[in-house]
Amino acid sequence: MFKKILVANRGEIALRVIRACREMGVKTVAVYSDADARSLHVRQADEGVCIGPASDALSYRNIPHVLSAAEMTGADAIHPGYGFLAENAHFAEVCELIGVTFIGPLSGQIALLGNKVKARETMAQHKIPVIPGSEGEIRNLSQAVQSAGNIGYPVMVKASAGGGGRGMRIVGREEDLGKAILAAQVEARAAFHHDGVYLEKYFEDPRHIEIQVLADTHGHAVHLGERECSVQRRYQKLLEESPSPAVDDSLRKDMGKMALKVVKAAQYRNAGTVEFLLDRHRKFYFMEVNTRIQVEHPVTEMVTGTDLIKEQIRVAAGLPLRFRQQDIGFHGHSLECRINAECSETFAPSPGVVSRFHLPGGPGIRVDTAMETMGTVNPHYDSMIAKLIAHGQDRDETIARAKRALDEFVIEGVKTTIPLHRLILNHPDFQKGGVTTGFLDRLLAGRMP
Catalytic residues: 292
Question: d(Cα 35, Cα 301) in Å, to the nearest integer?
Answer: 31
Q: Strands (DSSP E) along 34-113, which ranges? A: 47-52, 77-79, 101-102
Partner residues linked to 115 by β-bridges: none
The helix (run of H) or strand (run of E) holding residue 333 is strand 333-340
Question: d(Cα 345, Cα 448) in Å, to the nearest integer?
Answer: 7
What is the Cα Rg of the chain in Å?
21
CB burial string 128-154: b at 16+ within 10 A, e below = bebbebbeebbeeeeebeebbeebeee
Cα dihedral: 349, 354, 356, 358 (round 10): 70
What own/partner pairs with CB < 8 Å and gap ≥ 24 does 250-255 have? 251/282, 251/284, 252/225, 252/226, 254/284, 255/209, 255/211, 255/226, 255/284
Question: d(Cα 210, Cα 287) in Å, to the nearest integer?
Answer: 9
Query: Within 13 A of 249's CA, how many CA atoms are on the CB side?
Result: 2
